[in-house]
A and B are shown apart, each in its own frame.
Chain A
Amino acid sequence: MVAAINPRSIGWTGSLIVALLVPVVVGTPYYLSTGIFALMYVALAVAFDLVVGRIGALSLAQPVFYGYGAYVAALLGTHPRPGPGFWVEALAAATGASILALAIGIPAFRLSLHSFAMGTLGFALIAELVANNWLSVTRGPLCISAIAPLRLSYPGGTLIVTTNQQAYYVILAIAVVAILSVGLVSRSRLGMAFRAVRDDPMLAAARGLSPNQLRLLAFAISAALSALVGVFAAHFETVVCPSYIDLSITVLLLIMVFVGGRGSLRGVVTAAVIFTVVPELLRIAESMRLVIFGAILLVTVIAFPDGFEHLYARMGRFISRSRSRALPASSEATGKA
């Protein structure tokens, strides 16, 4: 592990510090909840990038896992209230979501790439259909409501998350976990294996890697992380509706991954923050948002295939060039996070 003081770690540490200070600096509950919303999407987008950017499978079923986590938390948190607490719910959500990912993935990954996308889209639509119609469990469009606040047990007590500040720090922790997991996996040989499968599945197989097993693994990890965010969302919003499994969430995630730069942790995190905070701050209406998002996605995919990562990489090269001009003997390693 290289604990160097380089621009990359400064960037991440700085962002973490800013993130930690947000609730202190920002007074209004509205803006704070925008921050919470942003962090939720940071975690979701990073998890999504694991599948789209790093293993190269375009899944459109991400909201299924998020919604699953939310419904699990909702059901455990209301039958009976106040529920078994965060850790139990998280475990149930993560394991269930992984199993669901395998159930969807095993048939879906047998298909070719386009069919995989369509197949996952179909699963998402079916999941939304089930959420809307399985009234005995999900209460359909009436939603499950009155979900108790999140209960987080730790050695020495239980934190009951009632204020926005507390909720903020919980989701920040979840986002950090997501970023660290995806980041560490990417730097490991497992990450190299994912990239190999993404670049050339046939060659990867010739090198002893099973494309199917690795895709399922990435899919399951991504599902578990998304479900975790869902658990948080259920307690924070106190209401869980079929809209948790909506296509618009997929669209937003696609934007974050493509505009941020597939496979780029810093790009995706940046895009996640921008595309949640800016539309909220500008108070753009829902359907107008989707028009703008659709347009941005179309233009990005056509004209800026590397997204923000391209800018970050250029910045990185610029910084290392200035540094090597300033300091005669310096070595700078650049590469993607």
Chain B
Amino acid sequence: MGVFVEEVVNGLTVGSEYALVAAGLALIFGVVQIVNFAHGELYMVGAYLLYLVESYLNWPYVPAALLAVLGMGVFGVVFYYVVVRNVLGKGWQTQLVATLAASVLLVNVVIVWAGSVPKVVLSPLTSTIVTLFVVRLSMQRLVVLAFALVAFVCLYAFLKHTKPGKAMRAMSQNRDAAIVVGIPIESVALSAVVVGSMLAGVAAVSIPPLANISPTMGAIVTLKAFAAVVMGGFTNVTGAIVSAFLLGLAEAIGIIWVPSEYADAIVFGVMIAVLLFRPHGLFGRAARA
């Protein structure tokens, strides 16, 4: 029983990570119709930003985390202008390869600059132990969930009640109508990329204290986030978030039976299974990809 509860909490923790990344991916895809292969690298860059602020500026965890998330917003702007804007409206192969190239670039720039040896990021909460039912957990896990919750509440408020947020929803539902109505495509696209980067940043500052950070940490996350986006119906942000949590739980609970080296394959297997029976995802409605 204890093992099960522990795995459920693990699943929710890991699910939060996937959900934050997947939400950004779904948002960007909905608004600009581009699958951002480099999205996991945004997550990775956020983690290294946290590392930098903690190690070089010597800030304590919470302010460092806040600065890192804000920093990701700025990075999102850069990413938009260097990569996304240059391939808007060009063929899908071009867009796909551009974000893939950006991914390779980011990973290897970090390797060259910081080395590929994993680094440690500290949070005072990792050592605080909390007892939940029969399980003893690091407080950091609850922090992850809390950060994710806060981020999602803000995201929903943003999408439902602010002008840019509503514009994003309009664009992802019906691009042509949005253009006709006069929605400023480029600034909405920019905002979507910035929001997506910041969501990845929230994930990046909450998970790493629990594990090390390395330049290649983003790659597998991209794939899993994509699995969640696909299952969620591509442009459906809620669907992506829910699917991400389901995948996180499936992975954590699946480890009980599957050798841990193949843990990554669980997510992938679930995605393939879903796609074979419902090519439009669990929550999608004949969505286009």
Contact = CB atoms under 8 A, between A and B. Distances in A.
A and B touching (Cβ–Cβ under 8 A)? yes
Interface of A: 52, 56, 58, 107, 110-115, 117-119, 121-122, 125-126, 129, 132-133, 247, 251, 254, 258, 262, 287-288, 290-291, 293-295, 297-298, 301-302, 305
B129 interface: no
A290 to B, nearest CB: 4
B35 A287 contact: no
Contact of A288 (B93, B112, B230, B268): B112
A58 B261 contact: no
A288 B112 CA distance: 7
Contacts of B5: none
Contacts of B56: none
- A interface majority secondary structure: helix
A259 B50 CA distance: 36
A133 B223 contact: no
Nearest to B280: A112
Interface in B99-120: 100-109, 111-112, 116
A254 B268 CA distance: 24
Contacts of B105: 291, 294-295, 298
Contacts of A56: 93
A291 B100 contact: no
Given A122-B268, A133-B262, A294-B108, 7 more contacts: A113-B92, A119-B272, A122-B223, A125-B264, A297-B104, A301-B97, A305-B90
Interface of B: 35, 83, 86-87, 90-94, 96-98, 100-109, 111-112, 116, 219-220, 223, 226, 230, 259, 261-262, 264-265, 268, 271-272, 275-276, 279, 288-289
A294 B220 contact: no
Given A251-B104, A297-B104, A298-B101, A58 B86 contact: no
Nearest to B220: A125
A129 B264 contact: yes
Given A114-B92, A298-B83, A121 B223 contact: yes
Contacts of A254: 97, 100-101
B40 to A, nearest CB: 12
